[in-house]
Structure 1
Amino acid sequence: MSFLDAGTGQIVANAAESERAAFIKRTYLHLGGAIAVYAVVVTLFLQTGIAQAFMGFLSGSPWMWLLVMGAYMGISMLADNWAHSGVSRERQYMGLGLYIVAFAFLSTLPITRALYMDPSILLHAALITAALVGGLTFTAFSTKINFSFMGRFLMIGGFVAMGVIVAAILFGFSLGLWFSGAMILFAAGSVLYSTSNIIHEYHTEQHVAASLSLFSSVGLLFWYVIQFLMAFTSGD
């Protein structure tokens, strides 16, 4: 087991060009690996019937959704804590892996619905997500602006969105096209914020934590692009 100091490495913005480039490369390689593992895990959940069983579980009561959301939030915080761990690199990878599996499990819900409605929605959602992430990444790297100031606004927006989602679950109303559109903007802001932090805020040895942050933002964007396309297709 390799022990690490939580502050190992320099702040990326202050590091030498070669160290900064190596950190960014490691981060995006880990992001690519996380996306590949996510795709495999989602496929397994779909093919083994776990996704269908999950949908059946959620259809039992609105309270089931609240239970799942609470569990997911708890797992996400634990995974993030592990990924930022200064104890060992192994613990960091455990955090990244835990989050990938948890998000893959949760996202089988919109993916299954999209497959029932129109399988092409998933391809379009993936292409739109990739295009948006590419544009936001180019913006962050080309402007070199530190977007860390967005953190407080994203936190407030996240609480507001969570409140709306909980209200929709409890009172049974549809969130629809406009909410999905607003959440795409929120997720895009999260991708920009995470990308900016990779350039400016992380230490050069925190590539696992950086990749988890970016993966969670990209995953959120993909989730709501799917929701938007389904709502648009159904005319909600």
Structure 2
Amino acid sequence: MKTDVLLSHSTDLERGDFYKKTYIHVALAILAFAGVEAFLLNVVPAELIYMMIGQKYSWLLVLGVFWLGSFMATKWSLSQSKSTQYVGLGLSILLYSVIFLPMIYMALLQDGTGNLIMQAALLTVAMFAGISAVAFTSKRDFSFLRNIIIIGGFISIGLIVAGRIFGFNLGLWFSVGMVILASASILYETSKLKDTYGTQQYVGAALQLFASIMLLFWYILRILMSRRS
């Protein structure tokens, strides 16, 4: 059994192995998400998808279950047990597949080809690669972003809930703001890789990056869809 030591106290070889495993797990999580999403689109009836978002409180219930499940998934992914870590990552993939289902379905209806989804995916990958390069090459400390992300997250949740209850559209600028918040989250989580995690916590690190990528993808796709409507 390998010893789990902080990455900041590890050797170059151990750090390289950690980064490789982390990004392999991120890639596998994205591929698994795509596979589960395709499966759900084929088996879940359209009526059920509309039901998820069609009523005022149904989507809030879905979001509530998603946030609770995400909290548990993150906790499990940082466990000392490898099997528990993978349960956390698997749960997170399933939760994101369900939460994305209505928007992916609507995007496919909107253009009929999947081009919008592909464009959003390519933009997300490009932005993720660019932000990651900045995080790894810059010598700046990005820990200050933590409080900004937390505050921004609570504000966005409040706006989403209020918009659902009172029936107002958050609009394009909210999506732009969330893209900025997601980008800040990727920058923070990537820079945190170098100091915070242990060498055996690559599953938990991958989950955090995966979650930030999914947030970025969500709002990029939402912006592209709003420009087509």
| TM-score strictly above 0.5 | yes
Q: Deviations over 1:132-182 (max 9, x none)?
A: 001001001111433222111100000000001001100111112111111
Are positions 1:113 and 2:137 aligned together?
Answer: no
Task: Give the distance between the partners of 1:126 and 1:183, measured in 2 at CA.
Answer: 16
Q: Deviations over 1:180-206 (max 9, x none)?
A: 111000111111111111122111110
Displacement over 4 Å in runs of 4+:
none
Read off the aligned partner of 2:8 and give its amino acid letter.
A
- What RMSD in Å do the two structures reach over aligned CA positions? 1.5
Task: Give the distance between the partners of 2:188 and 2:202, measured in 1 at CA.
Answer: 16
Q: Deviations over 1:23-65 (max 9, x none)?
A: 0000001111101111000000001125x24422224421111
Query: Which residue of the other structure, out of 83, 100, 104, is the alignment partner of 1:90?
Result: 83
Task: Give the distance between the partners of 2:194 and 2:97, measured in 1 at CA.
Answer: 27
- Residues 10-49 of structure 1: matches in 2 within 5 Å? 10-49=5-44
Task: Give the distance between the partners of 1:78 and 1:96, measured in 2 at CA.
Answer: 10
Read off the aligned partner of 1:155 and give its amino acid letter.
I
Read off the aligned partner of 1:93 and give its amino acid letter.
Y
Between the two proteins, the alignment pairs up a number of residues equal to 227
Read off the aligned partner of 1:109 and give its amino acid letter.
P
Q: Secondary structure at the match of 1:62?
A: coil
Query: Which residue of the other structure, out of 137, 141, 144, is the alignment partner of 2:136?
Result: 141
Cross-structure match for 2:150: 155
Unaligned runs of 5+ in 2: none
8 Å CA contact 1:24–1:199 kept in 2: the answer is no
8 Å CA contact 1:9–1:203 kept in 2: the answer is yes
8 Å CA contact 2:52–2:102 kept in 1: the answer is no
8 Å CA contact 1:66–1:166 kept in 2: the answer is yes
Task: Give the distance between the partners of 1:42 and 1:78, measured in 2 at CA.
Answer: 21
Read off the aligned partner of 1:134 and give its amino acid letter.
A
The sequence identity of aligned pairs, in percent, is: 39
Read off the aligned partner of 2:67 and give its amino acid letter.
M
Are positions 1:188 and 2:178 aligned together?
Answer: no
Cross-structure match for 1:69: 63
Question: TM-score, normalising length from structure 1?
Answer: 0.92
Task: Give the distance between the partners of 1:144 and 1:110, measured in 2 at CA.
Answer: 38
